[in-house]
């Protein structure tokens, strides 16, 4: 009986530590949103594939495509960040076709998935085509040191949280990288 108890205790300890080990291995390479590096590499590739012909009301501010109305503010924000040692870049304007492509990847491939499904039912949440601030050049996904800003502990996020409001940008709380004119 004593031997049995000892075996059960030993087994319980092995299972406990094994579980902890697997849990930590699983967390490796993941950000605080729980998405793996694979997701982000795909996303980076996708965002590199930008439109060749831009609408008249879209211009570039230090390489980021944004609406002409906010271009000066974004230009000043980027210059200010750089003077504080925070070198930012990012992606602003996105075409409707790109938004549709993102919805396919994040929400599913039926017409319902792409055009109707609630953004919150997509992973990650993604605005319906026609309603993304990116499609108006009024949102930016910021990158820092060549990577999308994935965590609130990022030096770049901390800088933006303190300063972006001065240049008319608000953060969408669920997405540390996404800043827009109204936080959506
Ligand atoms: Zn965004």
- Write the pLDDT tens digit of every residue in 38-96: 555 555 555 555 556 789 999 999 999 999 999 999 999 999 999 999 999 999 999 99
Distance 147 CA to ligand 1 centre (A): 14
Distance 13 CA to ligand 1 centre (A): 45
pLDDT over threshold 90, residue 37: no
Give the Å distances, CA to CA, from 118 to 38, 97, 112, 122, 178. 24, 19, 10, 7, 19
Give the Å distances, CA to CA, from 9 to 3, 12, 37, 57. 10, 5, 38, 69
Considering the domain delimited by 34-94+132-184, tell me its CATH architecture. Answer: 2-Layer Sandwich (3.30)
Distance 74 CA to ligand 1 centre (A): 15
Distance 159 CA to ligand 1 centre (A): 18
Distance 30 CA to ligand 1 centre (A): 19
Domain ranges of the chain: 1-30, 34-94+132-184, 96-127
What are the residues whose beta carbons fall under 8 Å from the beta carbon of 101, sequence distance 6 or more? 46
Looking at every residue in the chain, the average pLDDT score rounds to 83
What value does the mean pLDDT take over residues 142-163? Answer: 95
Give the Å distances, CA to CA, from 20 to 8, 12, 27, 33. 18, 12, 11, 20
How is residue 73 written in tokens?
């503010």
Distance 27 CA to ligand 1 centre (A): 24
Query: What is the reported pTM?
Result: 0.74
Residue 31 banded pLDDT, cuts 50, 70, 90:
very low
pLDDT over threshold 80, residue 3: no
Return d(Cα 176, Cα 118) in angstroms, integer.
21
Distance 134 CA to ligand 1 centre (A): 6
The single residue listed with the structure tokens 């994040």 is 106
């Amino acid at each position: 009986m004593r031997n049995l108890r000892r075996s059960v205790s030993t087994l319980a300890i092995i299972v406990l530590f094994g579980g902890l080990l697997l849990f930590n291995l699983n967390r490796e390479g993941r950000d605080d949103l729980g998405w793996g590096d694979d997701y982000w590499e795909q996303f980076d590739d996708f965002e590199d594939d930008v439109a060749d012909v831009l609408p008249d009301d879209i211009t570039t501010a230090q390489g980021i495509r944004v609406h002409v109305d906010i271009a000066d503010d974004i230009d000043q924000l980027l210059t200010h960040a750089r003077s504080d040692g925070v070198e930012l870049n990012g992606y602003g304007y996105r075409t409707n076709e790109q938004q549709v492509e993102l919805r396919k990847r994040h929400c599913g491939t039926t017409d319902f998935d792409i055009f109707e499904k609630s953004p919150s039912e997509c992973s990650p949440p993604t605005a319906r085509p026609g309603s993304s601030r990116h499609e108006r050049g009024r949102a930016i996904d910021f990158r820092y040191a060549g990577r999308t800003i994935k965590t609130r502990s990022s030096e770049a996020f901390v800088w933006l949280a303190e300063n972006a409001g001065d240049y008319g940008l608000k953060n969408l709380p669920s997405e540390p990288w996404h800043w827009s004119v109204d936080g959506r």
